[in-house]
Every structure is written in structure tokens, then in C-alpha cells.
Structure 1
């Protein structure tokens, strides 16, 4: 198995340094590395360039001229990764994700043991994500797949894992062949729900595993869930969730009904707990309007003229045409 790690950075140079050092220290070495800098103004690109020297030709830095958000950064990085036909897995993470020394080895070991129990039909794997205190991070808690068959559950349990339906981009392993079939993340999501939509799209009709033996630390400022007083980012939660429900083929119809109900409850809890309800109500109003009246631009439109290299844009175009 050949693995390319894709790391998206934005204005967290010291965390970026820690993350890159952890990637370089993996017990099972990473085969390739792509770092996408989202037009940082704190010298993150310089830190990346310095640390990537030790990787030689195995690493690539893509410094963007505009901040395309996590969604755009991952779309560009994943396109660069799967352009190499030899790559089997794309390992994605943000610059505040610090992989444990056996994070990659643990995931590949789980994949190997899973294959020994039957068909090699994995499309996505996700690491166990902890906070700095070593406890599971509530922002990245994996959820079991609803209506998973007994075979799916038993196969996952046999290798010490759990069947999943979606995963965050905080240490997700994406099967390169599946990416080539389904295309890229939707860059116009900018942030929030881009990983939910994309991983669910890759996993529709395929299988995914939560792998406790692959551990990373998500160094957020606080140990809390993403809906804990999100501030102005709540706009993207509302708009993008409506885009998922209206336009995405990631979920089956019955799944959308369940997620709509769960989302409504979550929004109510978020509004009740907020210290600035007026701001969240404004985000809800604008997100609701844009979620219904607009549709996301194509990823190639979003990434055009943002500093994405020509060869990567060619791959973005190719994946846009091949996506089902």
C-alpha cells in the first residue's frame, strides 16, 4: 500500500511544525506528502518549505494565493495526491492534527486484517481522535453506521473496529480508487460539513471503518463539540447542511429524513446555549436563504485563479468529469 498524506494549513505555524514533525516520525513511513497552504500570512508556508526539505522529491508544497477554506484546500491536495497512479490511500488532516507515531501503521494494519476476513471493499478509514488530555475529542466522535448488516458489524468487530457512515477530515484515510470514481470534495462549502458530505459520498454503497488503533491528537483551543457557540461560522453549518439535504447524492432518502431531524435538534441546542443569539439568528437567516436559493459552484470554478498549479488543475478537471 502506498500512502500520500495531505495536510491543509492556515495561520497556525507552530502547530503546523508539530504536525509535520509527527508525520516525519511515523513508525511506518509516509510515502508522499502534500501540504496545501491556504494563503497564510503568519509564515506557515516558510515553515512547511523548511521542513519539507528532508522529504526531498517525496513532498510537495502548494502555496495558494487565496484562502479557499478547508474544503478548497483538501480538494486541491487530494487532486494532487491521486494524480499519481501508484497511490492507494490519501491520508488527510488539518494543521492542528498531530498523529501519534503509529497512526499510519495502525490504520494499515487494520486494513490488512480486515482484508483477511473477506473482500477488500474499504473506501474510508478514520482514526481515533483525542484532545490534549488524551480523552476522546467530542468534535470528532465517530458514529456507527445506521442499518449496518450483521456481516458488516461482525467483520469490523473482528478486527477491533467499528463500521461507519461518515468521518471528519481530522485524520481520514480515503481510498484513492474511490476518490477517482467519486471526484473531489465540494470546494464551495469552504468550511463545515464538507467532510461529512464527502466521506458519506465515498461511503455510499461502500464500507468504512473507525480504527481505534490509529490515534491522533486534535489540538483545538478547547475540548468541545463544533456546535458549542460556533459564532459566525454557524452560517456555513446552515447553508452547507441545506446543500447536503437538497443537492448531494451522499445520503439515501431515509438517511436524509433522520439527519434533518437530528440537525434541527442540534440547531435548537446551539441557539439556546449561545452567548450571542442575535448573531446566530442572523447566521441562520442568511444560511437558510443561501442554502435554498443558491447552489455550490463547481470545484474547478472555486479553485481557478487561486494559485493551484496547472498540473493539479488538470487533475481537478479530470476528476470533475469522472465523478458520478
Structure 2
């Protein structure tokens, strides 16, 4: 029999959903529509607009009444800070609102009507929780929830099945659905906006797992609403990418190295192997998913700029947040 935890101590009004969006008002409309159908709703919904040039602001304003009793908070960034900067700002706003629980997500998903209730039932036991997600075609999305710490890369063959407990320990994270308690945010600080895109959520989830028991739970709470070109490998899929992603995938290995060094877990040889495997994986993605050889220069450019980051003696990790009073009930 599957274990079903109690939801007795979870108050949905203490939760905030933080969404990051950029020039995808159509997708954002679908997500906000799904939030109008949620039961229960969170206390706040925060939308971080990464300097969109479309009608995002008007779309958000049109949902203000229909999302009640949730309070809708809109923040428009002056420039596009990438997913990393957007999630850092979303976390900051949610934390300053006094939220006990912060649920992060991109604009290309929709929330299932009972999504918050499903997440809430695990809150008496855990403080860093990842729910499951349906892919665009309705299949169960496989997220690589474990990383090989010395290599700092995901383990692609971590078991997909769940036992009767209904959860599995994880040492990673994904900002498309991360559900985290403010106590953990206070201890590890905000997500690092310097990543811009890629590796930021894995790093944040790893930091969280060093402070608490992080888990992925066998509850579907999200559905992807954007189709992405994939290479079907049978059990696993490999998604298409972009030149920007290729650059940041390699450059941001330097930020991971910096965090590892600051925490005393950096091991040069395994980490270098992880970087080499990441490079090889991106070549495979280029050849077999995108059917091109163009784009390799972005991988080398990322490595080059990463070396400059590695030599920066002034670099510091994101600081913990000051202790704050618990939000009022």
C-alpha cells in the first residue's frame, strides 16, 4: 500500500507560486488559466517578467481578479536576466512576502487542479520537494533527480520507479516545479543569478540537499505545454538545445567548481571527467537531435570564459539570508 502523508499542517495561504516568463504570453496565459482552476489556491502568485516586449503585462493584469483569493504580484525586470536571474528575483519576492513555501515554475507548464494539495500533503515531512510532470504528449516525464556529486552531472539511469513510500531521495533540483521551505532558502540564500541559464537549479537543489532531506514524490502536479524536438532513445529522451544553452552549459561548469571549492568537495580529476562527459553529451545532442555540426564553437567559447571565472579570486557564493520572522497566520 502506498504511503499517504497527512496534509493537516499545511496552510495553502502560506505558499507562493513564483513564475518566470519571457516573451511567451500565450504560454503564460495557459499557465495562469490553470491556476484559476486550482483548488486550493496559494496565498500569492508572483510573475517575474524578464523584460518581455510582447503583451505579457496586459495578460497578467487580465488575471488579477480571476486568481482571487490569491494575490497576484507582477515584477518586470529592466533587462532579461535569464531563468537564473528570474528565479532568484522570484524567490526574493516570495521570501519577502513572508511565504513559508515557494513553488517555482517556468511559463511553459500548467498546474493540475489539485497540484498544490498534492504538494502540501508532503510538507509535514520534507522541506525540499519535487513533484512529477507530464510531458507535452501526456507521457510521464523522466527527470534526472540524482547527480554524481564528484562529477557534478546527472545520473541518467537513476531508477524511475517508486516503492510504497511514494518518494525517493534526491540531491538535485529543477526550477520547473521546485517546492521549497523558507527555512532552507534562508540557510542557502537565493538562487545564483550569475548562471543566467543552466546548472542553476541543479546547484540550488544540491545545496538544499546538504541542509535537509530532499525528495521527488510520486505525485503528478504539472504538465508541459510546449513541444520540444527530441531524440527518442527508448527509455530516455534527449531534447534539442540552442547555441546559448551550449555556451552556458560549458561556461557554468566554472560556477559549479567555485561552489564545490567553497564547500570543500571539489576533486579535480572526477570534476574534469564530468566536464568532458558534458561536452560529449552536447556533441551527441548536436549530431543526433539537431542534425548539425554547427554550434560546437559555443561549447569552446563557454569553456574559455569559464576559465576566466575560475581565476577570479574575488568570487563569492550567494550568501545565506538573514533570519526572518515567520509569516503571520
- Normalising by the smaller structure, the TM-score range is 0.7 to 0.9
Measure the CA separation in 2 of the matches of 1:241 and 1:144: 14
Measure the CA separation in 1 of the matches of 2:141 and 2:268: 25
Aligned 1:1-324 pairs, distance under 5 A: 1=10, 2-55=14-67, 58-85=71-98, 87-112=99-124, 115=125, 122-138=126-142, 140-143=143-146, 159-222=165-228, 224=230, 228-248=240-260, 253=265, 260-274=272-286, 275-280=291-296, 282-294=297-309
Deviation at 1:220, TM superposition (A): 3.1
Structure-1-length-normalised TM-score = 0.78
Match of 2:48, SS? Answer: strand
Structure 1: runs of 5+ lacking an equivalent? 116-121, 147-155, 300-315
Deviations for 1:27-53, whole angstroms, at most 9, x for unmatched residues?
A: 222111111111111111210121123
Deviation at 1:255, TM superposition (A): 8.2
Measure the CA separation in 1 of the matches of 2:309 and 2:82: 19
Give the equivalent residue in structure 2 for 1:303.
none
Measure the CA separation in 1 of the matches of 2:134 and 2:239: 18
Measure the CA separation in 1 of the matches of 2:275 and 2:320: 30
Question: Residues 252 and 213 from structure 1, CA distance in 2 versus in 1: closer, same or farther, beyond 3 angstroms?
Answer: farther
8 Å Cα contact 1:145/1:163 also seen in 2: no
Measure the CA separation in 2 of the matches of 1:39 and 1:15: 16
8 Å Cα contact 1:103/1:215 also seen in 2: yes
Structure-2-length-normalised TM-score = 0.77
Give the equivalent residue in structure 2 for 1:151.
none
Give the equivalent residue in structure 1 for 2:5.
none
Deviation at 1:212, TM superposition (A): 1.9
Question: Residues 58 and 272 from structure 1, CA distance in 2 versus in 1: closer, same or farther, beyond 3 angstroms?
Answer: closer
Match of 2:131, SS? Answer: strand
8 Å Cα contact 2:28/2:108 also seen in 1: yes
8 Å Cα contact 2:186/2:322 also seen in 1: no
Measure the CA separation in 2 of the matches of 1:220 and 1:248: 34
Measure the CA separation in 2 of the matches of 1:259 and 1:210: 25
Measure the CA separation in 1 of the matches of 2:83 and 2:320: 19
Match of 1:73, SS? Answer: helix
Match of 1:22, SS? Answer: helix
Structure 2: runs of 5+ lacking an equivalent? 1-9, 150-161, 231-236, 324-329
How many equivalent residue pairs? 286
Measure the CA separation in 1 of the matches of 2:185 and 2:211: 14
Measure the CA separation in 2 of the matches of 1:166 and 1:107: 18
